[in-house]
Each structure stands twice: as structure tokens, then as C-alpha cells.
Amino acid sequence: MKRPADRRTAEHADEHAADRTDEHTDEHAAPERRAGDVVGTRIEVEVGPPGHGGFCVARHEGRAVFVRHALPGERVIAEVTEGRAKDSFWRADAVQVLEASEDRVEAPCVYAGPGLCGGCDWQHASYEAQLRIKGEVVAEQLRRLAKVDREVVVEEVASPFGWRTRVQFAVDSEGSLGFRKHRSHEVVPVEECLIAATGVDEVGALQRDWPGMETVEVIAATGSMDRALVVTPKRGEQMPYVDADVKVSVLRGVSRNTHISGVQRIHGRPYVREVAEGRTWRVSGSGFWQVHPAAPDVLTEAVLDFLEPQAGEAAVDLYSGVGLFAAPLAEAVGEDGSVLAVELDRQAVRDAAHNLGFVDDEEESAEFPWLDLVEGSVDEVLADEGYAPDRADIVVLDPPRAGAGRDVCERIAGLGPRAVAYVACDPAALARDVAYFAEAGYELSDLRAFDLFPMTRHVECVALLQPAQR
């Protein structure tokens, strides 16, 4: 395990933070109300195509209106939730359906709907329609940002309910757990979450109050019985006593997430054990791990199918997390090959070192001596002559929601790989980066999309980029 000297103190937030809290990202910041706004105004609109963000696009007096809780082709009464008279677009909720789509269903969750929980975007659509809508959104982003015209079919992975193994609850002023409203800090208390995995319910966090807390994250590991809590107190508040109201017998660890020092162990293990690819993975605290239990195996299989790694090849794994892709790459290229894994988050690197066979902070893995693990930001490591490889045969990258960016895409292309597998949780960032790769001589040759976040707007893609055929 190696660290570039100027990066030994990782004073960086976890690059994957947005990925693991997709219901509670910055888009929920409360909109500022201004004089003359039109919030609360009701308008009748005909709903158009789906947009990237869990809404559909309508038009009103020449202005775009982003309408949630609607479906393409419907006629609805929409209530404006954000906007001023002079704005070029408004945001709104469909509060009355005048002409319903044949794809409309009654939302199965009592907390889904206008003004309620902002976590699920498409519960009012049949599951077949959800898959189709997500495919249309990915295709539209590729067409608009990358100038690539491709039909996208989103693959169903498992049941659309009971899949989320990591749930971060917000806490209201009374100490009740819930979820924030869409684009708001206001918390909607809940008694259950239909997309949460059974293991989340086993902990019993919803059965008690959490006064003084900002968030409570419940983790239910896949393939092991590990259950954990990560509690974030508000500034100046103390860690609550976790007593019999929470089923302590099922907990393997309780941690505190502070505003200054990060995640600290309070009780038990500071990590959970996840099982995927026939291996056991250590993931600490709120560290990034796919929240759908099938995701690690599904994504790894897709990446390996696209890359077809061969013995003796040089592989690069960027934004490598706890080593999910690095291990099978190392197994595939063998001792005559090489793997460079790069990750910024220090705790993820420590977990990866454990998972990949590094012992006592040694620089060489006992399991994969041909694998190098480097702690640092991807752009800096690829620009560092002491760490960046001269070439690579295959590259996998799994960046945070913001994507890789032009500089990283250009540097990857500069390594001359025969294949790049890009794992993306945001279709807009993926499409933008596909355009950057195209400028650098690489084209999108294949794409798979998976519904690893059912009922929400999110979709996971794996794209294959290869040198353009001239």
C-alpha cells in the first residue's frame, strides 16, 4: 500500500458520499423563497417526456415545468413548488390527475406522494414503466451530451422492494426517524420503509426516538449477519444511549460520525462484513458499498465481461474503494500481469488493504504481490510520474456521482488501453465523460444498465469504451 508524500493527510471528504445517501443529497437544500414567487400556484398542464431527476417535463406559457408525481402523456393539475414569475422553469408536483396514463398505479407506500418522502420518485408508475423511463433518460443524456444515439434497456435485477441494505434516516425536531421531503430539510417521520432490506428492520431503530441526533444510518450487511448503526449527533449533542429499545443483540457495531473527526467506534466492530464474488469484504463505518445486495456481483460480472482480462495484462482500477474490482482483476491477470488500484478515502484504502491481502501496512500484498494500492486522488496520481503507469491494457473506473471529468478521461486515454469499463451511477455525468473520451479517440462500443435502485430515479450503468475505429 502506497501513499504519495504530498497526500499522506487525506483531508478530503469521501468521494462516494453522494452515492451512499442518494435520498439526502444537496438537491434537498431548502429553496430560497423570494418576493413575487409563484409557489403554491396551480396550473393545468399536459405532461411530456421524463427528465433526469425523477420528474417529467411539461410546458406552461412557453416555460418548462419539471413535474414530479406525473407520467408522460398525462394531463394534471400541478402545484408550483419552486419558481418566480420571471424564471425560465418552475418545479411542481402533480396534485390532481385529470387524464391518467395506463402506466399509473397506486403508490404502495403511504409516504410516497406530493409533499411527502423525497426518497422514491416513481412509485406511482408500474415497474415496467419505471424501467422504460430510466432507459429513456439514459438514452436522452447520451444523445444530448455525447451525441450518441443508442436505445437503452434497463435490466431488472431483483424485487423492487426490500433491497436497500444501507439506510440513512434523518431525525426531526422530536427525535423521530424519517426522510426529507424533496429539495427540503423538512423531515417526514416514517414507521417503515418499503425499499429497506429486512435486516434494516431487524435493528429496530424506528421503534425509538433519537433526540439531538442529525442522522441515524442502519447497515445490514449482505451474506453475513452483521448489523450496525452509525449515529451523527447535532453539534454540541452527546451520543445517545443505545439500550433495549434497539435490538442490541443483532448489532455488531455502533459508531459515531462527528463533524470533525469522522466515524469513531463506540461499541463492537468498526466495520461490517459483506459477501460478494465468493469473498468476504470488510467495510468500515459509513464507507461506500453498493446498497443493493445483488449489485457487487452484477457489476463485477458486467465489468469482467466487457474487459475480458487476459493473463499478463496491465490493469488499472480507479476509484477502487474497498477493492471490489481490484481482486478479480488481479486474479485474472495473474502474477505475470499487474494491477494499480487508486482510491482517495483513507478508510476505504485501509479496508482495501485488508481485503486484498496486505498485512501490517506492508507495501506488498501477500495474496496479490503484483497489485499496487495507492492512496490519493485519481487525477493527482495519474499526473504523478512516480505513480502513474506508462501504459495499461484495461481500465475500470467507478467514480462518484459527479463523474471522472475531462482531465481524468484524457489521462486514461493516454495510457492506450484496449478497453475501459466505466461504472456510472449518474447518466448525465457518464454521457459528459463519454464525450470527453470521444475527443480523446475512444468510442462507446457497448452499454448495460441495471435497475439497482428500484422506485427511485437512479440507475447504474456499465459502459465499454474502446479505441475508435477510423
Residue 414: CATH number of its domain: 3.40.50.150
Q: Per DSSP, what are the bridge partners of residue 282?
A: 273
Would you please indicate which residues are annotated as catalytic (active-site) residues?
Answer: 425
The pLDDT score that the predictor gives to residue 240 is 78
What number is the average pLDDT over the span 370-383?
97
Q: Does the pLDDT value for residue 69 go beyond 70?
A: yes
Q: Are residues 321 and 409 in the same domain?
A: yes
Higher pLDDT, 116 or 26: 116
- The answer to the question of residue 79 being in a domain is yes
Q: What pLDDT score was predicted for residue 405?
A: 98
Average pLDDT on 196-209 reads: 93
Which cell goes with 281?
Answer: 469484504
Residue carrying the nine cell digits 468476504 = 280
Looking at the structure, tell me whether residues 301 and 428 fall in a common domain: yes
* Number of domains making up the chain: 3
Domain boundary among 86, 109, 132: 109
Q: What predicted TM-score, i.e. pTM, was given to this entire model?
A: 0.92
User: For residue 258, what pLDDT is reported?
Assistant: 81
Which of 26, 21, 455 is CA-nearest to residue 217?
21
pLDDT (tens digit, 9 = 90+) per residue, 233-285?
998 888 877 765 566 567 889 899 887 777 888 888 999 999 999 999 999 98
Asked whether residue 82 falls in the same domain as residue 196, the answer is: no
CB 306 within 8 A of CB 300: no
pLDDT of residue 197: 97
Which of the residue ranges 10-19, 202-211, 305-314 would you say has the lowest mean pLDDT?
10-19
Q: Are residues 267 and 299 in the same domain?
A: no
Determine the pLDDT at residue 326: 98
| pLDDT for the residue numbered 54 | 97
User: Which structural domain range is residue 247 located in?
Assistant: 166-274
Q: Please give the pLDDT value at position 267.
A: 86
Question: Measured between alpha carbons, how far is 204 from 247 in angstroms, rounded to an integer?
Answer: 6
Residues 258, 358 within the same domain: no
SS3 for 91-110, per residue?
EEEEEEEEECCCCECCCCCC
User: Which three cell numbers mark 69?
Assistant: 408525481
Is residue 393's pLDDT more than 70?
A: yes
Write down the pLDDT at residue 36: 55
Average pLDDT, the chain: 91
Higher pLDDT, 349 or 28: 349
The CATH number covering residue 101 comes to 2.40.50.140
Domain limit, last residue, from 247, 274, 301:
274
Cell numbers for 276: 460478494
Q: Is residue 134 part of a domain?
A: no
Residues 322 and 381 in one domain: yes
* Res. 99 pLDDT band, cuts 50 70 90: very high
Higher pLDDT, 25 or 467: 467
Backbone angles phi, psi at 28, to 5 degrees: -90, 5
Q: Give the pLDDT band of residue 7 (cuts 50, 70, 90).
A: very low
45, part of any domain:
yes
Averaged pLDDT for residues 431-447: 98
